[in-house]
Structure 1
């Protein structure tokens, strides 16, 4: 059965002029207290369910440009935080997963072609990987979502594919995980993030996966996990990875730690697809 639950929210933004949706008009003075209130509630829930679930607390650190690195590191230094997910939602500071109009602006700013936009996306992702080395990399190929051809053979774009290979090797090198993110299915794509071509390559490199529904509401929890499990089986994946909190009590007080744990995919399957 499901033993670990990871709670996270998007990290606060430094400035919100290009951020559409619910945060428009807010500023950092509002978002930081909101983030702190989230942590208070997350602690309450962890305590409430401590005998039933291994509740982990974190956030999604969105890399919009290089000066977000210090903000994300500062938020991650809070002893309440177990780990954070590193992600890219913007290219050249323009949202690439909000709507077609913003995506078109991103294409234009990258020089007018999707190929160049993809190159910029994976280049800025590499900057994030090098600076933050997140334990989990979120929706690795989110750039697919609003693409004209989300299922394209990415190796046809030589420059793009070289950057993808480099980024995957970087994640393997520092010991990170890629999430199999089912929100892609919820939003109409045929495969989760990352797509099959990237997953197969990452597996050859020795990469490891975790799984996420990227919930933005109760109705999203566990959405399309059955399809994700079938997808992983088709890739030949036998294990997923998660984290466990370790608390050591010493003379100087409690020391918090996090250990990586493998979980047989079969066990995950039995949770969501009872025998």
Structure 2
């Protein structure tokens, strides 16, 4: 079993950088070196001004042996989330793939280093309820293909007692209802929680609900492409998953493992 697809990567990192050959070439070269044949750029929608669809289409002709898509990660940023949704609607036909994510609870960027004190200001159970409510609102807005790092709220290893499905089952049911995919994201292995997103408990329920999976490293540097994939492969074996999905023009394509 081997993963040859990575559908979550950020060439711009966390700053606005217009797409150029010089910016994108190292990502394609890293994918070739690591055996990643299918991949998609999914920069944050707050940096959407850096995307150049014409340049991207011209650039990817340099790599005919790779299946390269262009996408976006849209989230609930209180400053840019609404305009990001409008932009995604307007550019839906230009995009292959859209990830949906929640990075804010009201105006609190809970997953950013330096903001951890927010987890100590109110009960963790209340924080998880607010987080999952935000996920449900994001799904209801539409214009999403897959949900990214579903339990990102655990990033600093703050977790409620009891069953995590008490919080996330309604989200999984909404994903199923809307016929969306769920991402298995390796970035959590590099974070304080030291665990992929989402947790095994959530993933086993997703398998039971027959929700398809996309796979992403959430790389913010070309050196992080496919990082953590060996652990994801072992997890897929444990889950009994024999295929994942990739996307082209928002259409799901099964990829056997």
Q: TM-score range by the shorter chain?
A: 0.7 to 0.9
Please state how far the C-alpha of 1:201 moved relative to its aligned partner: 1.1
- CA deviations on 1:180-230 (whole Å, 9 max, x unpaired) are 100111224343101101101111111111110001001101111111111
Count of residue pairs the alignment pairs up: 222
User: Would you tell me which structure has more strand in proportion to its own residues?
Assistant: 1
Match of 1:124 in 2: 134
Conserved in 1, the CA contact under 8 Å of 2:156 and 2:193? no
Runs of 4+ in 1 over 4 A off after TM superposition: none
Q: Which runs of 5+ in 1 are unaligned?
A: 13-30, 245-256, 266-275
SS of residue matched to 1:147: coil
- Equivalent positions of 1:211-230 (< 5 A) are 211-230=215-234
C-alpha contact (below 8 Å) 1:243/1:258 kept by paired residues: yes
Give 1:207's aligned residue. Answer: 211
- In 1, Cα distance between equivalents of 2:223 and 2:150: 23
Q: For the aligned residues, what is the CA RMSD?
A: 2.3
Which of 60, 64, 68 aligns to 2:81? It is 68
In structure 2, what is the equivalent of residue 9 of structure 1? 43
Matched-pair contact (CA < 8 Å) for 2:145–2:250: no
When normalised by structure 2's length, the TM-score is: 0.78
1:101-116 alignment to 2 at 5 Å? Answer: 101-105=114-118, 108=121, 112-116=122-126
Deviations 1:35-58 (A, max 9, x none): 235x45533432222x21121101
Greater relative contact order structure (CA < 8 Å, 6+ sep): 2
- The structure that has the greater radius of gyration is 1
Q: After TM superposition, list the pairs within 5 Å mapping 1:8-87 onto structure 2.
A: 8-12=42-46, 31=47, 33=49, 35-37=50-52, 39=53, 41-49=55-63, 51-65=64-78, 68-78=81-91, 79-87=93-101
Stretch of structure 1 that moved more, 58-67 or 125-134: 58-67
Deviation at 1:3, TM superposition (A): 3.0
